[in-house]
Amino acid sequence: MAIDWTTFTLEVVNFLVLVWLLKRFLYQPVLEVLGRRQAGVAHTLAEARRAEGEAAELRAQFERRLADWEAEKASLRAGLQAELETERGRQLQALSRTLGAERERQRAQEDHQAAELRRELEAQALLQARRFATRLLSRLAGPELEGRLIEVFIADLAHPPGDESAPEDSFAGLDVSALGAEGRARITSAFPVAEAQRQRLAAALTARLGRPLPLDWAEDGSLLAGLRLTLGPWQLDLSLADELDAFARSGNHGG
């Protein structure tokens, strides 16, 4: 079979023209489209990687903030617990002080009530003792006991002022000059005093006062036994009634 070189040449030329046309109008645009698509994919991948990085950074920030929040909550919780413990301690101290003050108040009130009860009991005991002593001494009181008391008084008058061996000087506060020239003495007894004892009592009183004084005599049964000497505003009691009153007063002062 003979080859038609003209036809072959034309076919070759047609083929080359076709290749050039394909390359010119089809392959290059396809390459450009493919390039643009690859560039778009690469850009999309880059954007995805960037978005993933941002997401990772945001997640890391969130985790840091969450950790900070947990630490802050723990700190606030610890601070609140410390404040609660401090307030609890302060409230307990205040309650302790209040209870202590209340106990002291109750103790003081109880002590006061006990003291009042003790004073009442002592007063009742003194009153009963005085009544008992009054009844007893009233039965014992009589002219004989009174005479013995007068003798004791005369013996006391015989001791000079300042004698340390003598009983307490009952005339220490007496100013005889204040009685004046016409001053009088009054002796009150529970029973009538015998004349001899009156004279001895008057003599002892004159010796003790340093001057004689007119004596007035009186009787008062409330003295039970003994006598009361009155010199102007000054008065000296040596009687059972006075001793009982002194006993009652000393008991009241002691309570």
Question: What torsion do the CA atoms of 52, 53, 58, 62 make, to the nearest 10 degrees?
Answer: 100
Helix 28-140 / helix 240-254 crossing angle, nearest 10 deg? 170
232, 161: one domain: yes
Domain that holds residue 71: 1-140
Q: Which residues contact 187 (CB under 8 A, 6 or more apart)?
A: 193, 201, 215, 216, 217, 218, 227, 228, 229, 230
177, 236: one domain: yes
Distance CA 190, CA 244 (A): 15
For the segment 182-189, the average pLDDT, to the nearest whole number, is 82
128, 3: one domain: yes
State the pLDDT at residue 148.
87
221, 133: one domain: no
At which of 90, 119, 140 does a domain end? 140
Which range (165-169, 211-215, 234-238, 239-243) has the least confidence?
A: 165-169
- Residue 154 contacts residue 202 (beta carbons within 8 Å): no
Q: Output the CA–CA distances (angstroms, integers) from residue 59 to 44, 52, 67, in the order listed.
A: 22, 10, 12
Please give the mean pLDDT across all residues of the chain: 78
Name the most confidently modeled range: 36-45, 66-75, 114-123, 193-202.
193-202
Q: What is the pLDDT of residues 80-105, one digit of tens each?
A: 888 888 888 888 888 888 888 888 88
127, 159: one domain: no
Q: What is the pLDDT of residues 113-155, one digit of tens each?
A: 888 888 887 767 666 666 655 665 666 667 888 888 888 888 8
160, 113: one domain: no
Distance CA 189, CA 217 (A): 8
Q: What is the pLDDT of residues 24-40, one digit of tens each?
A: 776 677 677 777 888 88
150, 196: one domain: yes
Across 24-99, the runs of DSSP E, i.e. the strands, are none
169, 125: one domain: no
- Residue 149 contacts residue 225 (beta carbons within 8 Å): yes
pTM value surpassing 0.85: no
102, 9: one domain: yes
